A and B are shown apart, each in its own frame.
Chain A
Amino acid sequence: MDSFVPWLLLALPLLSAVAIHLGLKRNQAISAIVSTASAALTLILAIVLLLHKEDVHVAFNWISIGGFAGIKIGLDLDQLAKGMMLVVTGVGFLVHLFSLAYMKDDSAKARYFCGLSLFMFSMTGIVLASNFIMMFVFWELVGLSSYLLIGHWYEKDSAADAAKKAFLTNRIGDFGFMIGILMLWGITGHFTFSGLEGWAAAPTTFCATCLGIAVLCIFAGAMGKSAQAPLHVWLPDAMEGPTPVSALIHAATMVAAGVYMMARFFGALTPDGAELSALVPVFSGQTIAWVGGITSLLAALMATQQDDIKKILAYSTLSQLGYMVMAIGLLNPEAGMFHLFTHAWFKALLFLGSGAVIFACHHEQNIWKMGGLKKTMPITFITFGIGTLALCGFPFITSGFWSKEQILEAALNKNTALFVIAAFVAFLTTFYMFRLFFIAFLGKSRSDNADHAKEVGPLMYVPLIILAILALISGFQPVAQSIAPAYHHEGFHMGWAFGASILAVVLGFGLAFKLYKDAAEDPLAEKGIFKLFRNKFYLDEAYAKVVGYGQDTVAAFVHFFDELIISGFLVGGFSRAAGGIGRLFGRLQSGNLQGYAVLFGLGVLLIIYLTVFVS
């Protein structure tokens, strides 16, 4: 394999973004086509590289300083990276296609596609990064492209605020991430994943607690990107961006980057199938697992009471990411990555399906104003139904079942409390997804917009069909073994985990059927604890207060003291004294500033000369 081929994966989307920005943007249609073509080419490249079984490593020096090992920009293409590339470029290409139709009438289509290409470039960088510094570089660039795409309609206050919130929340995570990278560098002496692998094979003596803290700091970065509680608040707001962006970035790829990064990191710590628990202390793993478990529970509860179709899917994404993070924390990154892989397809499917619905209903997003779409949008209805089943983990025929099963098994083996939470979340998932499905697609239409809905065109439904097929088959062993980023086959057996997931699906479906089959409004709304779910546990309000009364008050206070004491009193006294001398000079001389400045210059030179001469 020629060594420039992997670089093309990075170069193509970057060239597309730069070309659009620098000139093509005058022609919106060409910009869209160039960006889509680059996505198609990278998909082909990713498939070629996946079929090519050998690992590929290329690198060049980025920062070199004598006496320091230096930092390289390098690409590591192993099974994990290649499988992830397939997810990124696969979902990416379909989203580009879908966007051609969805963004057809947008006045800033070129800027949109430029942002998509920039995102593809940055995400590719995260996936292929050979070291933590490079991963951090692209990590932040992904944050930038997400910022630009959430804020695509920046004239709207809500979109501009959501973009800012996403960037800042991620920055808080990255604060921890950078500390983690630095600590890890101190402990092991390496940034590179291959270097870490070498270290882990024969670790030098190290302080286990310090490594545990470093792992948690690095995990803080993952909490930001993968929107884990308490840094989850940006993701639902990010739905202000165009819906295809939500599918690509805020469901399938960017938000999965945290999980991917942890899998990459933990993979480097386990050379040749060594046990992860030998290096990672128990408290780190437990903390990560509980963060994931709590996120999955909170998000699923919040999802049960949302009315905006995209918000329901956003909270569901949070909840599923919580599953993946839980698997990571249970030191079973393969299970987490497997769920990431299947989830990418069916969640992209659900988001694009919701995009089709929103498009057809003239940008109506409230599910209570939809209804009856089954008849008017049959393809969307069927594919969305498949996505729903996959997300609920409908046994045997959907991919979601196989991957969720692995996580439930892992939890059952290691932590019963988390297993109970995970099983309960599975029940909630089925409940809120069928609530959405019944209200939006079945029954009678409840608004004019829904009345006039028409099935979307082929540019939009073809991606839906492809994703629906993948939502069904991607979990099967032969498929997963050949294309998934990481897959560890565990023979299926009828145990507690299977029983729990069947029960969850049956109960969730039954309850949703009973409550929402023909409902015209939510019978649970405003009732007791459901009000809490509807209002997202008031976390957003609480954060706004913390920022408002915390940060801004501190800032105002500090500013006040800065003016009062440092500027006005301490150093000000100084300057008043000096000002007195200045006035004295002023009386002697012309009194204006110009004169003073000239005098100052001459005076200083004179003083210098005299002092020097005398010494």
Chain B
Amino acid sequence: MSLILILIPILAAVAILMGGKAKSLATGAAALNLILGLGSVFSWNHGVWDLSLQVLSKPSIHLALGFYDGMSVIMVILSVLVLFTAVMSGKCPEGREKLWYSSILLIGAGALGAFLSTDLFFFYAFHELALIPTFLMIGMLGSGERKEAAWKITIYLSLGSIILLAGLIWLVAASGSETWLFKDLLASSIDAETQSGIAALLIIGFGILISLFPFHSWAAPAYASAPAPVAMLHAGVLKKFGLYGLIRLYPMVSIGMQDWLGWLIVLLLGNILWVGFVTINQKRLDMMLGNSSVMHMGYIFLAFAALVQAGSSEANPLAIPAAVVLMFAHGISIALLFMLTDTIRRKTGTVELAELGGLAKAAPRLAFLFGLGAMASIGLPGLANFSGEVLVFLSGFNGYTGNGLGCVQIATILALWGVVISAVYMLRAYRQTFQGPSVAHTNSDHVKDFGPFCQIPAAILAIALLVVGIYPNSLLHLLKKEPAPSLETEQASN
């Protein structure tokens, strides 16, 4: 069953490349995926979604798919939501429909594949699959300095992938596991010294993919010049691959990770404070959002650092839920903001903050939805990001008894200042774009607001933010369930 979720977008992409009707095929496939993906919430732990097919015997690699645990379910929900809305947003240049829609579908398929893989090899390979169309779209259909941005992201992410791959291979080799299946890997153990080295490679490799400071400078320019659906999918979904991977593999290197706790904390504060200040200084809406997305990765890392310090998810039961809720929330909110920024660009012809102003009067729906996304991203309660952030802060203080502050507590306090920084740049941007008197040369008095139909994709994301914000247990109850007991393995030798 889980194969279907991945195959639908791939088959639709193939059909588009063969000359099918691009837009309707893509919309249909994404809609079907959305329904199936949301439906999986109710049935995922019954085993019907699982598949395991041995594709290679030495080493033993399986095309093993399924929901490994609640975290996979949440990431799949995120993926199908953003994939559907990404297909429906942005404006495809005339005559490029094939490339545009097939790339979006393939990025979505790759992300789904990574989150649904229960085998480390395919987990990695699906992510690679998703990167290729990402690079192509930025390089060929991006805006502004697209070539340079495309080069930068390609080089960074390839480098990150290769370092990561080295780490993964070392991990499998050191574990002595027969297969690359998560369940076998996680059941094995690695000696502490080796763990430390593997942990370092994982932090750097995944870190580059997540835009961990100081490997972050690819992100903002890439998102700024990427076509809207690509920015939405990469910043919203694909970037979470690294965090998902870190959390997934963490139990295997939990001792080794502790060697790097100090570094992790310094780097995550780099994301929150350093990049936070960089974000304040941005003059363009798209660059500001790109940097803010980098900054907010720091909070998810903070939850991870709390987990590392505690040593296990039993010792700090808040850390993983915190990271997962925030991953989901950030994905949805940044996708919403990138989508609407593209709308602003198309309606006014600019995203320079100094040239914008007073849009709320002519476009109240756009202003409301953007405001909702902006408020979500600065952690306003009632919207999903707050649910995640408050759990992150609580996880940072989990186990604190009042006698002296540990390094994670100090990091949490400094990270809290980031909440002020976010409010500074987000409100400044909102004020500059939507409020104040209207600006003549962008014609802001005559900008057309969203029609009732055009706002649907944005409204879907807004509703997701509200649901998780108002009732965080809606996501958290998925995390309570134990990992699927055992995979129904259908051995098929090759």
A interface with B by C-beta (< 8 Å)? 61-68, 133, 136-138, 140-141, 144, 151, 154-157, 160-161, 164, 167-168, 171-172, 174-175, 178-179, 182-183, 185-187, 206-207, 210-211, 551-552, 554-556, 558-559, 562-563, 566-567, 570-571, 574-575, 578-579, 582, 593-594, 596-598, 600-601, 604-605, 607-608, 611-613, 615
Distance (whole angstroms) from the CB of B465 to the closest CB of chain A: 14
Residues of A within 8 A of B314 (CB): 67
Query: Using Cβ atoms and an 8 Å threshold, which residues of chain B touch A578?
Result: 155, 158-159
Contact B412 A182 (CB under 8 A): yes
Interface of A is mostly: helix
Are B435 and A61 interface neighbours, CB within 8 A? Answer: no
B420 touches A136 (CB 8 A): no
CA distance A556 to B278 in the complex (A): 7
Give residues in B with beta carbon < 8 Å to A.
56, 58-59, 61, 121, 124-125, 128-129, 131-132, 135-136, 139-140, 147, 150-152, 154-156, 158-159, 161-162, 165, 169, 173, 214-217, 274-275, 277-278, 280-282, 314, 317-318, 321, 358, 360-361, 375, 380-382, 386-387, 390-391, 393-394, 396-398, 400-403, 409, 412-413, 416-417, 419-420, 423-424, 427-428, 431, 434-438, 471-473, 476-477, 479-480
CB-CB under 8 A from B409, the residues of chain A are 182
Chain A to chain B contacts (Cβ below 8 Å), 19 pairs? A62-B472, A63-B476, A64-B473, A64-B477, A68-B317, A136-B390, A157-B436, A172-B420, A178-B416, A559-B278, A571-B215, A575-B155, A578-B158, A582-B155, A593-B139, A601-B132, A604-B128, A605-B125, A612-B121
Q: Is B169 a contact partner of A612 (Cβ separation < 8 A)?
A: yes
Chain A min CB distance to B351 (Å) = 18
Give bound CA distance, A172 to B422, whole Å: 12
Question: Given A555-B278, A612-B61, is A154 in contact with B360 using a C-beta cutoff of 8 Å?
Answer: yes
Cβ–Cβ contact B423 & A171, under 8 A? yes
Cα A141 to Cα B379 in complex, Å, equals 11
**Shortest beta-carbon distance from A19 to chain B in Å:** 15
Cβ-defined partner of B437 (8 Å) among A68, A133, A157, A206: A157
**CB-contact partner of B402 in A156, A207, A552, A567, under 8 A:** A207
- Asked whether, in the complex, the Cβ of A570 is within 8 Å of the Cβ of B480, the reply is no
Are B317's CB and A566's CB within 8 A?
no
The reply to whether A182 and B396 contact each other, CB–CB distance below 8 Å, is yes
Residue with the greatest number of chain B CB neighbours at <10 A, chosen from A64, A183, A559: A559
A172 — nearest CB in chain B belongs to which residue? B420
Main secondary structure of the interface of B (DSSP, over half): helix
B403 near A594: Cβ-Cβ < 8 Å: no
- Contacting pair B158 A600 (CB below 8 A): yes
Q: Please state if A63 and B159 are interface contacts (CB–CB under 8 Å).
A: no
Contact residue among A63, A161, A175, A579 (Cβ-Cβ distance under 8 Å from B419): A175
Q: How far is the CA of A559 from the CA of B425 in the complex (A)?
A: 14
Q: Report the bound CA distance from A570 to B270 in whole Å.
A: 15
| A224 → chain B closest CB, angstroms | 11
Specify which of B147, B423, B473 is in contact with A61 (CB 8 Å cutoff): B473
CA distance A155 to B401 in the complex (A): 49
B135 contact from A62, A183, A593, Cβ within 8 A: A593
CB atoms of A605 and B217 under 8 A apart:
no
Chain B residues, CB < 8 A from A612: 56, 59, 61, 121, 169
Tell me whether A155 and B318 are in contact in the complex, defined as CB-CB below 8 angstroms, given that A63-B472, A64-B476, A605-B128 are known contacts.
Answer: no
Give Cα A167 to B375, complex, Å. Answer: 11
The CA-CA distance from A604 to B435 in the complex, in Å, is 49
Decide: B152 and A575 in contact? CB cutoff 8 A: yes
CB of B399 to closest CB in A, whole Å: 8
Q: Would A168 and B423 count as touching, CB distance under 8 A?
A: yes
Contacts of B139 in A (CB 8 A): 593-594, 597
A206 with B375: CB separation less than 8 A: no
Closest chain A residue to B320, Cβ basis: A65
CB distance from B181 to the nearest CB of A (A): 14
A592 to chain B, nearest CB (A): 9
Q: Please tell me if the beta carbons of B393 and A178 are within 8 angstroms of each other in the complex.
A: yes
B381–A574 touching, CB < 8 Å: no
Cα separation A608 to B476 with both chains bound (whole Å) = 36
CA distance in complex: A160, B367 (Å): 14
Q: Are B435 and A151 in contact (CB under 8 A)?
A: yes
